[in-house]
Amino acid sequence: MTRVWRCLRSIEPAIATRCFTSTVRRREVRRLAELPPRLNPGFRETSSHDLLALQWPSPPRNVLLVPKTDDTPVRAALIEYASHIHSAYPDVSLCFEPTVASEIESELGFDIYAPQPDCNTHYNDKIDLTSTLGGDGTILHAASLFATAKSVPPVLSFSMGTLGFLGEWKFSEYKRAFREVYVSGAPSPLPTNLDDKQTVSDGGSGPKVVGQSGWSSVRGKTMGTARSSRILLRNRLRVGIFSTEGERMPHESPFAHQDSRCEDIFALNEVLLHRGALPHLAHITILIGSGPQQKVLTTAIADGFLVSTPTGSTAYSLSSGGSIVHPLVSSILLTPICPRSLSFRPLVLPANTPITLRIDSENRSKEVEVSIDGVRRKQGLRAGMEVRVVGEEVRTAGAPGSRDWVGGVPSIVRSGGAVDGDDHWVGGLNSLLKFNYPFGEHG
């Protein structure tokens, strides 16, 4: 506790000075378990485009901020961003990973939240909204925090990394971006009573009404139920690892389930099998389908093999010669890495196709390395072990307009433009990946 000495001086010079102490409350990192339960938004289909509309049943309360690590400009931006949210949206509790929270708590003048080592509360139990500051790797890391969860909170990403193909917003737009997400689906006009209320400026996101809470604390134009933040629902892979006896094995940290349960996890980008540092090519048998309908596609003799989502099609798979697939196309990509056969080409299959990668008995190396979204498993796979992959179900059955969207990673994209939000992917191909960029001085 910090002690502050203060003195009271009387107007009469003859009276002596009387000193006393007071205690300033120390701001602290509080337990994630103290927060209210997670608020699950809805995603509404629209007739004008393929993106979904974000619908909050009530204002989001618990926001997880995930920054790029060891980056001075990102750290400064994080402090600015967090301070703005606390000032403009006082009902919002800000959450961080434990290491980040311990580094920045002294720079923030308010309480923050983080999971504690002795607590079983997980992010997916509490977090309503995730916001990242960094590049594509930061987004993947944020998604990995929910790798054991069947649903992921919406992700608002600010591009502050090297490439930023997945990032949607510039950090200079953070006030507008956060406000659009916060009021997405709110009644129009916002429910506010201005009688006898004092208003103060919040620095750009609309004046704040002192003494009110939730949506009623934010004045100004709302998007209303007819115009909400746009959601691109990115498909994930459901991944299971099996022993030579066909028994499901537990995953390793950071993808491990609570109590080391042997259940599937989810990957946003890809699953990679690779020979690693060993000199021999990996022998991986690829099977398509399940049960009696399962058939052997081929045995890959290569440096490795990738199973990717459309989101991952612009990552390792692209570098290995795989196709670029739009994230709205529900599919799975199979991409060999430096195969021995020149006729072994990449494939694109429906997302609901079960795929089994089995380490062949003729594999000469002791183990084959396994990585999920760039995180390598400490224990590799031996001959006879399997990785089973299938696309995640992201919606329930039914006619358009009556389906519930239950899975995937809801990525908040820009609204507006020629096709109301879809052009971000085309723009990324042209500006970031330099798609079909001509050579020479006139390129």
Burial of 397 (0-12, 13-18, 19+ CB in 10 A): exposed
Mean pLDDT by 10 residues, the chain (443 residues): 45 50 65 93 80 92 95 95 95 95 92 85 92 93 92 94 78 94 81 45 43 61 64 94 92 72 88 92 94 92 96 93 92 96 92 96 91 91 95 79 81 67 68 75 56
The mean predicted confidence, pLDDT, of the chain is 83
CA 194 to each of CA 160, 208, 210, 219, 220: distance values in angstroms, whole numbers, following the listed order: 38, 11, 10, 9, 12
Q: Which pTM does this prediction carry?
A: 0.84
Structural domains for the chain: 30-233 (3.40.50.10330), 237-391 (2.60.200.30)
pLDDT digits (tens, 9 = 90+) for 341-372: 988 999 999 999 999 999 999 998 889 999 99
